[in-house]
Amino acid sequence: MSTNEPVVSVEWLHANFREADLKVLDASSYLPDEQRNPFEEYQVARIPGALFFDIDRISDQTTDLPHMLPSSGAFAAAVSALGIENKDGVVVYDGKGIFSAARVWWMFRVFGHDRVWVLDGGLPRWRASGFDVESSASSDAVMKVNAANKAVQEVYHGLAVGPTKFQTKFRPHFIWTFQQILQNIEDKTHQHIDARSKARFDGVAPEPRKGVRSGHIPGSKCIPFPQMLDDLQTLLPTSELRKRLEQEGISLDSPVVASCGTGVTACILALGLYRLGKTDVPVYDGSWTEWATHPANAVSTSTSTSCPV
């Protein structure tokens, strides 16, 4: 597999998923109003041998913000509990096509692991291609998933965890903080693109998370994440990706930072930009949910350039 491409096809995975040094992860996650349980769905139907990666549990346990990036130690402990080592290739998929899988692809890269890919089209594409799914998760698989989630809790409680076979190398330039976004409004060093829907970005549709106002960060531009995908929920070819970005006035010659609602679909923008050769696009981890909770922050909408949250 080439690290020049961020995705692999279902045909490639079907031919290689039983290789010992290839690990497959179901990283499905859904918005609150969808009322879907990704772990239950994983237990009902999964790509053979896949383990479940819970982005809500393998996350920073010191914040109320959803699925924020965990510490290096917590990530290493969780991934080790799943049986993943640095020598392994990792393919991540989800139940929508390309949605939350891109978040886990980004997480591995933040922690220094480049042998990671998103399954193009995800589980829907796998099933549509006629490939088999397992209808029940083995006890060993469930045990590993539980062990990974438990390891995160133990790290944050200062408890000793088992040996970590996966070693991290944290790349701070892949992740942006609130302060960096705030500074970028003044300095404009990076083009800021937001993956949310245009209606949410414009402030005319509600956010899916209760209590979070709609609107956008001043100076940001809207490229809804579905614009990175085709009708089969696979990543667009380079020519189409380039066209979508140029239509919104995004220059590939200048740095880009991506955000969204909670740092998940921003990673789809990073995935598309990776295909175009921009392999170091940072993601604002707290994204709109964090920004909108700061009372002093300016919020732009389609009807006003700036208003208090």
- CB-based contact 132:66 (threshold 8 Å): no
- CB-based contact 293:206 (threshold 8 Å): no
Taking the alpha carbons of 13, 170, 265, 207 in that order, is the dihedral positive or negative? positive
* Catalytic residue flag (residue 260): yes
In terms of phi and psi (left: phi > 0; alpha: psi -120 to 50; beta: otherwise), the region of 109 is alpha
Name the amino acid, one letter, at 212. V
> For residue 213, what are the CA distances in angstroms to 88, 122, 182, 201?
42, 31, 18, 10
Closest CA to 201 of 180, 175, 219, 176: 219
Q: Which of 222, 260, 267, 307 is catalytic?
A: 260
Give the phi and the psi of residue 8 in degrees, each rounded to 5.
Answer: -125, 155
> For residue 75, what are the CA distances in angstroms to 54, 56, 57, 239, 257?
12, 12, 11, 35, 23
**Catalytic residue numbers, as ranges:** 260
